[in-house]
Structure 1
Amino acid sequence: MSDQYGYAHLMGVKFINITEKRFLDDIIYPKLKNQEKCFIVTANPEFVVATRDNPDFKAIVQSSDYVLPDGVGIIHAANFTGQRLVERVTGVDVMYKMLEHANEHGYSVFFLGAKEDANKKAAEEAKRQFPDLIIAGRRNGYFNRLDPEISDYVASTKPDIIFAALGMQRQEEWIYHSMDKFDKGIFIGVGGSLDVLSGNVSRAPKFWIKFQIEWLYRLIKQPSRLKRDLKVLEFMLLHIPGIKRVMKWLGFSKSKPRQR
């Protein structure tokens, strides 16, 4: 079904070209109804650069069912390379819409990840906002991602939706290695979204989001993000036509040197 929407290919990662509404209405909600399994990745520029630096991680991302463009830099990079992505589709927004849908249609959710306090508060806040929501279970993110007891426990609750908030790469690795234990489930990596749901972290005000400068708001609030945001700059420069040779000269290229 997704082939009708097309894709944008950036550094070996294939992004589906679709709006948030159509992604949910046309693809995810029918899969929920049919009790299918689905692996969703939400990727921003830093995420894509990480896949370049880690081939195993890239292989996991490429094995997913859908990769969503969670970052305005992804949209701009697609434009720079003559491709098209109709809009940014963020993990946190998809999470809220899926919670609303689960609340209305009787689907169960599992919250996996974040610190214990944030995880507990996220579950409580979800229940406050969506009173009919079925919470199959919850578990903080402090565990070995390959611990079979964790995946066995989550699978035993038979959730319809699994929100994995274990951080970039770790959450995708957990989903990849755990899905076979489940008979059904929409699995989505949502990064820090449980911290947002819990109220421990605030999203940028609508003004910053509207003008596509949410990244600047986060940097002002968290100066420690500077190193991460430099990865975004690197990603953008790598997609400006004619700039790759300059980037390689500056040492950003990960290609191996020639053997003499």
Structure 2
Amino acid sequence: MKRIDFLKSPMDIATMAETVYFIENKLDEGQFLQHVVVNVAKIVNMQKDSVLAASVNACDVINIDGMGVVFGARFLGHDVPERVAGVDLFHELLKMSANRDFPVFLLGATNEVVTKTTEKVQTLYPNLTIAGFNDGYFWDNEEALVKKIRESGARLLFVAITSPKKENFINKWQDKLGVDFVMGVGGTFDVVAGKVKRAPNWMQNAGLEWFYRVLQEPGRMWKRYLVTNSQFAYLLLKEKFLTK
């Protein structure tokens, strides 16, 4: 997969099919892969959070999640075919894991949400082996959680914790997790469990998912997106017209 540098963040230019094919091949080779997706908010935060930036830079696969980043990269002259949304990749990898008999572990969100997510994906993919699951409130005893994952026999680990906690957790413990693939999936479990609704496809394709989130949770989201979107626009214009 082709890798570019975009606003100080490396990212891989790949389609969904190419990404799944690449990950499956590496799993067959027994090669550890750390995966992450980048969106507008993460790129903005990476400019000032060196720990988050280092965690992202350490990943083996860095997909573009969010049409804002796709449009921005194209604006700067990069040939980006499509985005690889984290929630969609999650489902594609579960489907692949069910077909290949790769056990998975689900980590993150509240106990209620991760339990519902586990039940839902087991219904969607009856042949999928779920080696284990755990909520995201384990910070007082990380080592016990890492041991639980290692002893579960899982080959793929999906971490539904907010940034930058999930990136930093994965980067810190990757050598002791005992899995072949780790992916941070953010709020994916909330979507799968039905707690949060995804934007309609036309809004996703137009880069307006953020606006849909604001409509759902205006009190919590409007300021976050106003600030990050404005900073992202400034970074793009600066890179396009002021950087030599």
Name the TM-score, length of structure 1 as normaliser. 0.87
8 A contact 2:55–2:171 mirrored in 1: yes
Q: Equivalent of 2:17, from 15, 21, 45?
A: 21
Cα separation, 1, equivalents of 2:110 and 2:222: 23
Could you tell me how far apart the structure 1 residues matched to 2:212 and 2:65 are? 16
Q: Distance in 1 between matches of 2:196 and 2:140?
A: 24
The count of residues paired between Structure 1 and Structure 2 equals: 239
| Secondary structure class of the residue paired with 1:40 | strand
Aligned residue runs from structure 1 range 150-161, under 5 A: 150-161=145-156
Decide whether the 8 Å contact of 1:44 with 1:70 is kept in 2.
yes
Q: Deviations 1:209-243 (Å, cap 9, x if unpaired)? A: 23332222111112121122120231122112337
How high is the sequence identity, in percent, across the aligned residues?
27
Query: 92-101 vs 226-235, which deviates more?
Result: 226-235
Does residue 1:134 correspond to 2:133, yes or no?
no
Partner of 1:37: 32
Contact 1:145 1:174 in 2 (8 A): no
Could you tell me how far apart the structure 2 residues matched to 1:169 and 1:145 are? 17
Q: Deviations over 1:135-179 (max 9, x none)?
A: 000000012187211111111112111000111111111111111
Q: Report whether the alignment pairs 1:233 with 2:230.
A: yes
CA distance in structure 1 between the aligned counterparts of 2:140 and 2:161, rounded to whole angstroms: 9
Aligned mates of 2:233, 2:63 — CA distance in 1: 17
Structure whose CA Rg is larger? 1
* Cα deviation, residue 183, structure 1: 4.0
- Aligned-partner Cα distance in 2 for 1:56–1:30: 30
Q: Does 2:185 correspond to 1:186?
A: no
Instruction: Tell me what 2:241 maps to.
Output: 242
Q: Report what 1:10 is aligned to.
A: 6
1:174 paired with 2:169, answer: yes
1:232 partner letter = N
Aligned ranges for residues 31-70 of structure 1 at < 5 Å?
31-70=26-65
Post-superposition Cα deviations, 1:70-108, rounded to whole Å, max 9, x if no partner, equal 111111221222222221111100000011111112111
**What's 2:77 paired with?**
82
CA RMSD across the alignment? 1.6
Unaligned stretches of 5+ in structure 1? 245-260
- Match of 1:228, as an amino acid? R
Query: Which residues of structure 2 form unaligned runs of 5+?
Result: none
Q: SS of the residue aligned with 1:147?
A: helix
User: What one-letter code is carried by the residue in structure 1 that aligns with 2:167?
Assistant: E
Partner of 2:99: 104
Runs of 4+ in structure 1 deviating by more than 6 angstroms, as ranges, are none
- The reply on whether 1:115 has 2:114 as its aligned counterpart is no
Partner secondary structure for residue 182 of structure 2: strand
**CA–CA distance in 1 between the matches of 2:153 and 2:38?**
26
Structure 2 CA distance, aligned partners of 1:136 and 1:242? 51
